[in-house]
Structure 1
C-alpha cells in the first residue's frame, strides 16, 4: 500500500494543497496535528471546517476533549487501525494522505513507534505538581538529548519524557527510536516550506484573522469549562490567552505572544522536517501551488 505525507510548518499552506491532491487521486485525509485532536479548540488551531473539506473525508480531528491525555502512542494506534482497515478492503479502498505539522505523530506512522511503558499515575501526579523550570532541570539530568530536542514549554511532553526515564531506567531519547511499524504502507513524503520572512508574515496575519474570528471568546469558553485541567491545554493561542484571563498580561501582549510562539513553533517544525530522511522539499515561495501540485502528482504516479 502507498500513501502521501504532506508535512510542513504552521501556516505554510498544507490544508489547501492536501485537499487539492485528495480530489485528484480520490484520497481520504488523516490529520497529524497534535492540537486538532482536541474538540472545542477550533479557531486557534486553524481547524478545517466542513465547508473547507469539500467532501473529502478527514480523520483524527475532534477525537478527545481538551484536558484529556492523548499521546503519540494513542495516535499511532488509532491511525494504524484506520490504515489497516482500509488496506484490508477488497473494494472501495481509498488512497490515504497524512497531513500536518506534528513530526512525532507522522514519524510514528511512517517509521514505526517504540512501545514505551504506560503512564504511572503516582509518578505523573508528583511530576505534574512541579513547575516548568523544575521539570526542565530533572529532564536535563536524566536525558540531556531529550532536553535539547523537546519543546521545553510543553509541560505534558516534559512529564512524559521524565516518566519514561524513571519507569525504564533508560533514556527517553534512545527508547523512542526502537520502532515497530504496524502498517503495510510506504509513503511519498513531501515537506512544504516557504522563505522564512514570508512564512512569518503569513503566521502574523493568520493570528490577526483568528482574533477577528473570535479566538478570545472561544478561549474564554474553554478557560471557564476546563478550569481544573488548564495546565493540560498547551496549544498555542490558548495558553497565552489563559494568562490574559488570569490577569498576568494584557490582551495586546497575549496576541503578540501568540504570534511569537507560533513563529518559534514554525522554526522548530522546519528544523525537524529538514532533519528527517526521504522528504521531497517544495518551497511555495519559489514555486506556485499548481507547480507543487503537478510535481507531487507526477512523483505519485511513479512512486
Structure 2
C-alpha cells in the first residue's frame, strides 16, 4: 500500500493568526507554506488581502501567492490542480507541505479531490443573469440562489456575482444543486492530513479585525486600490474581494471614505463568521483557542506536539 503524503492544514477566520502560525510550524517541521486564500494569488492586491511580507516569511518558502493578474479569474478547480502540483514538488524536496488559508471550498476540494465539471456551461444563461445582476442588483440574484440552494447562498457572498451565477447555472443544467453535487463526491482523501483550526473569543476577533482594517488604511490601502482603479480594472473577480469593493464605491463617489471603511470592517467581521460556520459544519477540525495572544509560543508548542502525535512527525525543537 502506497503511503499517503503527509499534509498540515491551518484554517480559521480572517485575522486569527494563521499566517504567523504557519511560519512557526514550517520552521519546526521543515515545511513550506501553500496559500489557501482565493485572493492572495493576485499581484497588486497586497495590503487588502493581508498578504505575507518577505520579512514575515522569515526564510520559509511560500507558494500560490502573486501568480495571477488582477484581471484574470481563478476558481477552486484551478487551485486544486496548482496546489496538488506544489505539494508533490515540496514532498520531492523532503519537506512538509503546509496549507494556510481561509477559503473553505478551495481547501476542501484539494483535500478530497473534488471533480469539477467545467464542461457543463451555458453562456447564454450566464449572460442573462449577469444582465439581471446589473439591472436588478446583486442581492436579487443572490436571493434567487437562496431559494434554490440556501447552503451555497450562505457560503457565497452576495457581491461574488460570478460564483452565485455559477451555482445557479449548475442547478439550471443538471437539476442538482451545487451543495448536493459536492456532497455526492467522495470524502476519502489522498493525503494523510491534519486540520488545525484557529479560533478565539468573538469580541476579541472582531476587535482584531477592526484594528487590522485601520492598519491597512495606515499602510496605504487607498493608494493600492486607486492603482487598480486607475488602470480601469473593474467587474472582475479580484475586485470583489473585501477591502477592494468597498474602496471602489468610495472612489466612484457612492459613499464617503468613513462609510467605506466602516463597511469594510463590517464585511470582514461577517466574512469571519461565515468562515467559522463553514469549517464547523463541513470539516473535521481540531480547534485551538488563540484568545490569549500573549501565550502564542506556548500555543505553538501545544499545536506542534499535537501534530507530532497525529502525523508521526518529528519537530526540530
Would you say same fold, with TM above 0.5? Answer: yes
Residues 260-271 of structure 1 aligned to structure 2 (within 5 Å): 260-271=266-277
Contact 1:4 1:96 in 2 (8 A): yes
Q: Measured at CA, do residues 2 and 84 of structure 1 come closer, stay the same or move farther in structure 2, by a change above 3 Å?
A: same
Alignment counterpart, residue 67 of structure 1, candidates 66, 71, 78: 71
Post-superposition offset of 1:139: 1.8
Residues 217-236 of structure 1 aligned to structure 2 (within 5 Å): 217-230=223-236, 233-236=239-242
Contact 1:6 1:100 in 2 (8 A): yes
Unaligned runs of 5+ in 1: none
Q: Measured at CA, do residues 137 and 99 of structure 1 come closer, stay the same or move farther in structure 2, by a change above 3 Å?
A: same
Contact 2:13 2:198 in 1 (8 A): yes
Contact 1:114 1:177 in 2 (8 A): no
Residues 169-208 of structure 1 aligned to structure 2 (within 5 Å): 169-179=175-185, 184-208=190-214
Contact 2:112 2:188 in 1 (8 A): no
Contact 1:207 1:259 in 2 (8 A): yes
SS in 1 for 2:26: helix
Equivalent residue number for residue 148 of structure 2: 142
Residues 18-97 of structure 1 aligned to structure 2 (within 5 Å): 18-87=22-91, 89=92, 92-97=93-98
Equivalent residue number for residue 129 of structure 2: 127
Q: Measured at CA, do residues 234 and 20 of structure 1 come closer, stay the same or move farther in structure 2, by a change above 3 Å?
A: same
Equivalent residue number for residue 99 of structure 1: 100
Alignment counterpart, residue 298 of structure 1, candidates 301, 305, 308: 305
Q: Measured at CA, do residues 281 and 183 of structure 1 come closer, stay the same or move farther in structure 2, by a change above 3 Å?
A: closer
Q: Measured at CA, do residues 273 and 143 of structure 1 come closer, stay the same or move farther in structure 2, by a change above 3 Å?
A: closer
Cα root mean square deviation, aligned: 2.0
C-alpha separation between the residues in 2 aligned to 1:301 and 1:123?
Answer: 50
C-alpha separation between the residues in 1 aligned to 2:153 and 2:49?
Answer: 26
Identify the range of structure 1 (245-254 vs 133-142) with the bigger mean alpha-carbon deviation: 133-142
Alignment counterpart, residue 9 of structure 1, candidates 10, 13, 25: 13
Q: Measured at CA, do residues 230 and 69 of structure 1 come closer, stay the same or move farther in structure 2, by a change above 3 Å?
A: closer
C-alpha separation between the residues in 2 aligned to 1:232 and 1:7?
Answer: 21
Instruction: Verify: 1:289 aligned to 2:290, yes or no.
Output: no
With the length of structure 2 as denominator, give the TM-score of the two structures. 0.88
Equivalent residue number for residue 315 of structure 2: none
Instruction: Verify: 1:167 aligned to 2:144, yes or no.
Output: no
SS in 2 for 1:176: helix
Q: Measured at CA, do residues 228 and 8 of structure 1 come closer, stay the same or move farther in structure 2, by a change above 3 Å?
A: closer
SS in 2 for 1:189: strand
Alignment counterpart, residue 212 of structure 1, candidates 215, 218, 227: 218
C-alpha separation between the residues in 1 aligned to 2:151 and 2:168?
Answer: 12
Identify the range of structure 1 (121-130 vs 14-23) with the bigger mean alpha-carbon deviation: 121-130
Contact 1:36 1:42 in 2 (8 A): yes
Post-superposition offset of 1:175: 0.7
C-alpha separation between the residues in 1 aligned to 2:14 and 2:300?
Answer: 19
**Number of corresponding residues:** 300
SS in 2 for 1:97: strand
C-alpha separation between the residues in 2 aligned to 1:242 and 1:228?
Answer: 9
